[in-house]
Structure 1
């Protein structure tokens, strides 16, 4: 639907404030058609109790919407138990999107929470990257790790955050995004390939390579100095791709479902 999630939540909040917690609100018309852009915000508001004056109540609700969301064009149909049913009311219910249900959709709430978790992990990874690559990553640095708590903790932070971000982004957020977009999900490889085709993932091959690098960096045995140094440099090159994947998912969800928020692209190092 072409209605931002914060706007949908505001509409529901205002409806509940004016008509009570049991009110139901549907969005219908052009705003539910992904092939169209913009248009009036058509709303069907169904109230379970009798209203003294439906026209006045609808006008006040329209005014509250304009005060909260700006001078947009709202078209409010307000029904109470005494309303005479009209064909447009049935169309709004059957072809529209119920905002009061969407606002409480557990799957959508989980997706929003996952977006925020991955966003925070990406920010933390970028911070760890900045600290780690402030060191001269060479064999002398590697040899001193055993006696340099700050350097070893910075290395651990970068490696663990790299691994955690890739796991949550690839194993959790990408499948959740595909489900939200009504795309078929399958094996981890199927999901990655589908995400690449949709323009959400830069390269399935590089993603799998990143997983191999992650395993090399966190392997139980101590790698040779040169192997670890090369793995760290390779991982650093992939960090902006992780961020770009998150941004692509966020933009697609914001465009298609009206959820998510813009997040700045990774700043080139």
Structure 2
């Protein structure tokens, strides 16, 4: 039995998000072990930079893939017509359907993601604060993906088999 293209796209995107989430989780665990403090930000070791780069890459990829690929794929797999929907409308529709806890929260998480990777000549305190916001936002993105995973497994049981 061949699956519909919408289901195959959801399956592929879901697997990609799960992969990013796994590696992001590893980076978060490494960062927690390192317990970076504000004074560490101005003189990071080579290993700290590698872990932060891995975190930044996987965090931005996970958030990008959830927002730009997974959420639309869920709607398409549910046979929603999203061709003329704006991003905000898609988020609101997912919230209405109970797939997303809050469209506004996702938008806030997206704003934090967009602000995080910029290397402006900020103070150490500003860079550290941005890192802390990104760490918290990445944890929340992982929680949202877990909730989406439960819904996907419930609504599309053959997808994850």
Structure 2: gaps (5+ residues) = none
Residues 136/241 of structure 1: CA separation in 2 closer, same or farther (3 Å cut): closer
1:178 aligns to 2:75 (yes or no): yes
Does the 8 Å CA contact 1:254/1:260 hold for their aligned counterparts?
yes
Does the 8 Å CA contact 2:6/2:76 hold for their aligned counterparts?
no
Residues 222/184 of structure 1: CA separation in 2 closer, same or farther (3 Å cut): farther
- Structure 2 match to 1:164: 61
- Greater relative contact order (Cα 8 A, min sep 6): structure 1 or 2? 2
The structure richer in strand per residue is 1
CA displacement 1:76-103 (0-9 Å, x = unmatched): xxxxxxxxxxxxxxxxxxxxxxxx2xx2
Matching of residues 1-269 of structure 1 within 5 Å: 100=1, 103-145=2-44, 148-185=45-82, 186-261=85-160
The structure richer in helix per residue is 2
Instruction: Please report the TM-score for the alignment, with normalisation by the length of structure 1.
Output: 0.54
Deviation at 1:211, TM superposition (A): 1.9
Aligned residue for 1:218, secondary structure, equals coil
Aligned residues: 159
Does the 8 Å CA contact 1:199/1:248 hold for their aligned counterparts?
no
Residues in 1 aligned to 2:106 and 2:68: alpha-carbon distance in whole angstroms: 12
Structure 1: gaps (5+ residues) = 1-99, 263-269
Deviation at 1:246, TM superposition (A): 2.2
Name which one, 1 or 2, has greater alpha-carbon Rg.
1
Superposition CA RMSD, Å? 2.1
